[in-house]
Amino acid sequence: MKREIPIVITLVAGLFMLLAWFVPHPTVKAAYEGLQNWAIVVVGFTYVLGVANLLRINTRQVSRKERDWPYKMVLIAGLLVTMVVGFSEGNHYTDVDSRFQWIYRTFYSPMTATMFSLLAFFIASAAFRAFRIRSVEALLLAIAAFILMIGRVPLGAAIHPAIPAAADWLMEIPQNAAKRGILIGAALGVMATGIRVILGLEKTYGGGDS
Amino acid sequence: MSLAALRHLDRRWIFLGVALLVIVPLLFSFHIAPVLPSNRSRGFYDAIEKLPEGSVVLLSGDYDPGTSAENYPMHLAAVRQLMRRNMRIIALALYPAGPPLTDQVLRIAGEEYHKTQGVDYVNLGYKVGNELVMSQMGQSIPNTFPVDNRGVAVNTIPVMKGIQNFQQIRLIVDISAGYPGTKEWVQQVVSRYHVPMVAGVTAVSAPEYYPYLQAGQLHGLLGGMAGAAEYEVLVGAPGLATRGMDAQSLAHVFIAFMIVLGNLAFIAGPKKGNGR
Amino acid sequence: MAAFLLTAVSIFAFPALASAFPLQAGDTPNDGGGSVDVSWTPPDHHPTSWILVRREQGGTFAPVATVDGTDSHYSDDTAQNGTAYEYQLVASPADPSLDSEVSGPAHASVNLFDWSKFNVLVVAGVFFALLFWYIRKSEGGTKWVFRKIPGLDAIEEAVGRATEMGKGVLYVPGVQEIDDIQTIASMILLGRVARIAAKYETALNVPTNSPGVYTVAEEVVKSAYADVGRSDVYKSDQVRYVTSEQFAYVAAVNGMMLRERPAANLLLGAFFAESLLLAETGHAVGAIQIAGTANVHQMPFFVVACDYTLIGEEYFAASALLSNDARLLGSLKATDSVKILMIAIIVLGSILATFGQTWLGDFFSTQ
């Protein structure tokens, strides 16, 4: 029963949501939106579980002084301080001079921006290491890459106006066509996976045997 | 060092090269080449420019500090243009860490153009729900956001007067980093309610929106920092993005050079068995 | 006072004077009722704005909304179902010579089916029909042939390699919530990978960036270990929630890679900007990397930086191909068949459109 009940719930809810998309009747629409709201609420509750898991694992590692335990202390302290500061300031947490905003501006903003900026370095090293021109297709790809990289910055137009024009053509025609093909395939894959889950053909995700 | 030996080049040298080519132009502006706006940026600019003054514009800042290098300059330039044109701005964010960035651009541009919060613009803040928020706004914006970012009831805010749903919105300006973002706005709002829309997105995701631009569902598109720089030039307020173009130009040339160098090193070295 | 009374009377009592333009009103199609669409062709001479007024048949006009002088359409969503309304556009500032005609009666009604989505229903119906047909054939014993996908064969190899080296496998299920289909597909694959890891007693670590995904992933891994009779090997720390913040998650996972140096990285799910950060770090620690995503913009990074990449539908087909289950393989054939149909329609539609026949393309339009 433990495995059958989730499958039945998935089937009923999945078929309802599928059919409800086609039916604008207010009662059906209300149920459709209601189910979506429930999903948001359930996901919201899982954050409690997530934070509890985070604290459980890290406090245990700190108490046992496992490897890198000082970093776990920093994580726990950061979590608790931010939560306490945010809750204590209430609606005023959005004020420019609030402590919460100070934490946001001083720690959160620069750290996330820094992680994203690592991409610039990694792209360069990946380009050096992995972009091997071993075939005609790879050569065409490399030529397209050069045109795009130079055409997308002011330098390209300064060298010759045909470069940004060529970059635009590459993006609007061949790139678009290939991408649409991949998207159509992926969309069919999405449909197939969704139907397999709704009909109970795939049970692994729910912890069952398929 | 021979070309073959370059195969084992420590990648930290590559990192150093990128770092220098980005930091030096930011510190000492070279003006390698002027920024020339593309048709996509012009479309974005013109869509706002041709709106009647006093029109209601929905500005969605769907990004967080991670992509602020690309999205923040376009967000700020958009608010500047909207305020210069005296639009009524209803701002919101679908990323939890988005509202402070929206607050910041509204405050900076508001001081420049002497606009007052509540009277000329409002920040409705963040709402969880992704596409569901958009769908609910189609029914009623005040019910979806009963209070603004400061906790003030929206039915007491002058700029929100008469705003019920998308029928009163003349243009959607979406600054987006991914999901939820431009695609969801087009699918949930533009296709249902036919509200004109323009979008500013990260460079890596810009190609995904070309079909929408071609189909007319987007009237303009800014792609990455280059798009932001083009837009800053059109708005007449060159800023962070324009300053970054020199660095980006040199970085792109460097990456192209790395591809060539990597292949030369590969050709010069001993041949392995089948690669991957 | 007299001027005001005259204006009020002219708005609410008398029909529009000469050269009035027509106004069409009708039920808003494909909706749940409560809405009437009013449309018109804006005249050459128009006021700054219009006041849209409405009356029930036999009643008096009352204002409903103010619309811009250049507008040509308004949806009145305050209408009661079944009540007949008549509409008129009144110029503002008042000028009876610019007012529209009174529209014919129109009433809002509930529609039971959204006909604008009929084309989607047709495609879905064809897909369902093919799906059930192929599943029936599979259950009847028909064996299907699929092309080899190198990345799939490499999954078991990768786990085996990790076992031989005495190192672990890192499974990253993407950065989207559990309601995303890519994450669901990742959970399905995780179950299969966990079975292999349990059989070989290979350490399997699954850092998640959403509590919802953590909940499901934990259950999937625990059950997988139990299914192969290796619950004793399962550790509760294998699956953990790291953080929901995208780049903090990347930093944490990169840290795990650099410290624990897994022999195999499986990056299967929805990824965004962090894809190259993960893949490059994984390469730096010498792990074999298999990636799979349907996010088109991240595929190039995975193709360049990983050993094997499952692109788009290969990723969704992976679980069916790994399972070797007849019904799941039948669903793959259905997907392939629909794809062939779509290619045929695209080619035919392009040819027809070239000769000015757009009916096929228009049928499949969703705008």
The token duo for B146 is 């009963």
Sort strands B121-126 and C288-293 into parallel, antiparallel or unpaired. Answer: unpaired
pLDDT single digits (tens) A153-194: 999 999 999 999 999 999 889 998 888 888 888 888 988 888
Sort strands C264-270 and C288-293 into parallel, antiparallel or unpaired. Answer: parallel
Q: Could you tell me the pTM of the whole model? A: 0.85
pLDDT single digits (tens) A49-77: 888 888 998 999 999 998 889 999 999 99
Average pLDDT for C307-325? 90
Q: What is the CA radius of gyration of chain B?
A: 22
**Nearest Cα to C267, choosing from C173, C151, C182, C192?**
C173
Distance from CA of A203 to the nearest CA of C (A): 8
Residues in chain C: 367
Average pLDDT for B73-94? 97
Q: Is C239 helix (H, G, I), strand (E, B) or coil?
A: strand
Average pLDDT for C302-325? 90
Sheet containing C204-208: give its strands across.
C239-241, C204-208, C169-174, C264-270, C288-293, C308-311
pLDDT of residue B276: 40
Confidence of residue B7 (pLDDT cuts 50, 70, 90): confident
Q: Which residue in chain A has the smallest CA separation from B107?
A: A96
* Cα–Cα distance measured from residue C240 to residue C234, given in angstroms and rounded to the nearest whole number: 13
Judging contacts by C-beta atoms under 8 Å, the chain B residues touching residue A113 are 65-66, 68-69
Q: Does A172 lie at the interface with B, CB-CB under 8 angstroms?
A: yes
* Cα–Cα distance measured from residue C339 to residue C345, given in angstroms and rounded to the nearest whole number: 10
- Which of A26, A49, A190 has its CB closest to that of C211? A49
Distance from CA of A21 to the nearest CA of B (A): 13
Range list of β-strands (E), chain A: none
Q: Does A192 lie at the interface with C, CB-CB under 8 angstroms?
A: yes
- Which of A96, A109, A146 has its CB closest to that of B256? A146
Distance from CA of B91 to the nearest CA of A (A): 15
Confidence of residue C367 (pLDDT cuts 50, 70, 90): low
pLDDT of residue B274: 42
The set of chains that have 3 or more CB pairs under 8 A with C is A, B
Average pLDDT for B152-172? 94
Question: Does the structure show a pLDDT above 50 at C182?
Answer: yes
The mean predicted confidence, pLDDT, of chain C is 90
The token duo for A97 is 């001079």
pLDDT single digits (tens) B91-142: 999 998 899 999 999 999 999 999 999 999 999 999 888 888 998 898 899 9
Residues pairing with C67 in the sheet = C50
Q: Does A15 lie at the interface with C, CB-CB under 8 angstroms?
A: no
pLDDT single digits (tens) B54-64: 999 999 999 99
Sign of the alpha-carbon torsion through A41, A47, A49, A50: positive
**Nearest Cα to C282, choosing from C306, C298, C248, C304?**
C306
Per-position b or e across A39-65, b if 16+ CB within 10 A of its CB = beeebeebeeebeebbeebbeebbeee
Question: Does the structure show a pLDDT above 90 at C231?
Answer: yes
